[in-house]
Structure formats: structure tokens, C-alpha cells
Structure 1
Amino acid sequence: MRVAAKCGTIKKMEDNPVKMKTLLLKYEKGKASILAKVEHPFHVIKNLFGYRKVRYKGLAKNQVQLFTLFGLANLVLATRCQGKRPPSWSESDR
């Protein structure tokens, strides 16, 4: 299973002697922690940079633009981890 299981299906499971329910919960928690780490750059690109739709400019140009955006998102996230806040976009316009 690569997609997160729905809560209802886990709740319906009976806690049998093999402890399948607890094993499945640990497995799902591992998947959720990976998903949370992967989703942060997408959040930065969509909400901070406003990049929601891709215009077709050619596959190579779109790929370069996405690589650049993900590189910038990594820089933003790195500054957040260090406790420094990047300047807001309105301050850079001055």
C-alpha cells in the first residue's frame, strides 16, 4: 500500500492476536511522516510563490522553471529551520 489508508478502514479492523491493527498504524504513521516532509516544498511553491498552473512553454523550459522553484523553496525552508524569517515580498519592493 502506497496511498494512505482511510481512518474508517483502520477503525473497522478488529485487534486480533497477531496485532495487525497496531502494525498497520505504525506503517501508516511512517508514510504520513514522509508525506509531511515532501508536501512542504509544494506548499511554499503554491502559496508563497503563487505558482498554481503550468503554461506549456515546452517540456525543457517547464522543467527548468520547476527545478528553480524547488531550489528556491529549499532555501526558504532552510532559512525557516534556522529561525530566520525571509523578508516579506512587500518589504523587498521598497
Structure 2
Amino acid sequence: MGSLRLACACTLHANLRVMGKPLQIRDVPKPVLDTLRERAEERHMSLASYALEVLTRHAQSKTMGEVLAGPRLRKGSALKNDDILELLASERR
């Protein structure tokens, strides 16, 4: 019984650590709220669960700045326009 109680306590503490902070969004326009509610209902989810899913998906996707920064972080010499045009022309031959 003691090991079961310890396992439950460990699980409880693990769950408490991964729980996020609450977020409240005020002044959501009615059309936006209605759309979110409809989409949540279609997926048989609560509005809060659906909103969390949408926010998580958005946070996991890269911004345009992050996407464009990738090639800029590469090391090596930059290709000049003439070099690029020559490479393209050689591929067409």
C-alpha cells in the first residue's frame, strides 16, 4: 500500500510540474469567439481545450523571420548572383 501511495504522489507532483500558467484573453470579438466555439464543438472539445490546441500549434510553427534566418546562419561563402544564374543555366542544359 505504501508503494502505491508513493507512486500516486509522484504522479501528482509530475503532473503539477507540467501544468502551465493560466491565460485569460479579454475583449475577444463575438465573431471570433463564435467561430472558435463552433470549431471546438465540431471536434467535441471544450473551448479552452481547443484554444490551447490552436495556440500550441501556432507557437510550434516558425515565424517568417525564423524561417529566413536559417539560411543566414549557414557558414561559408555567399553565392553571387552570377554564380546562381550559372548554376541554373547548367541545370537546364
TM-score by structure 1 length? Answer: 0.30
Give the number of the structure whose alpha-carbon radius of gyration is greater: 2
Larger relative contact order (CA 8 Å, sep ≥ 6): 1
TM-score by structure 2 length? Answer: 0.31
More helix by share: 2
